[in-house]
Amino acid sequence: MPILVAILGLLTGMVVTGFALLQDPFSLFESATDTPIDAPAQLVTSSAIGRGLTFYPVGILGFEDAQVEPFADPALRYARLELALLDSGDGGARALAVKLSAPRGDNSLVRGRLVTDSAWNVIWPGHGSLFLAGRDDYRPLLADHLLNAASGKGLQGTERPQLMTIAPRLLGSGGRLAAAAGTYREYWNPDSRVELELGLVDD
């Protein structure tokens, strides 16, 4: 009987601590906040291709995805590259965008910090170009996927988009957008697609 109680205690302790880590009880770091994109000009991802570290949540832990072509160079092993087409909300010209991202060196499972640094460079024919930078928070995604796996649903997210972007910033712009202000956010969609929403206001 004492052995059974000890095993039960051990397992309970492991599950409760693991759950607590995934929920980030310490809240030492900022997390994604949902800023409404309410701007006259909007760009939203319509299609994208990528290479490098998988953006599937377990990729942030260093697990490689056989479906994704990695970079062979040691310095690029955990880098990710994405090329995307963005649709404008009014049916006007589409934009071409490139995203570069890589996990931060100070990520920590104990502190619940699983973040990538990311930067977007967008070129919009007839309008101008934009530089965006922020961080992608993978902890809520990973927690969502692992909790679903633990409840027998398999390693998948819940059927609602998850916000990923922390501290989004518009760092620079050119052409007619030189005086533009704006913000952006990225969502992880249930179909395992990451979607960018970018809103711009002309100053």
The residue (of 9 and 158) whose beta carbon lies closer to another protein is 9
**96 is a site residue for another protein (CB under 8 A):** yes
Say whether residue 103 binds another protein (CB under 8 A).
Answer: yes
Candidates 28-36, 80-88, 150-158, 189-197: pick the segment binding another protein (CB under 8 A).
80-88
- Please state at what angle helix 139-150 crosses helix 2-22, rounded to 10 degrees: 140
> Does residue 146 bind another protein (CB under 8 A)?
no
The binding track of 149-178 with respect to another protein, each residue x by CB under 8 A or -, is ----------------------xx-xxx--
Please, what is the minimum distance in Å from the beta carbon of residue 113 to another protein?
A: 10
192 binds another protein (CB under 8 A): no
Residue count, binding to another protein (CB under 8 A): 73
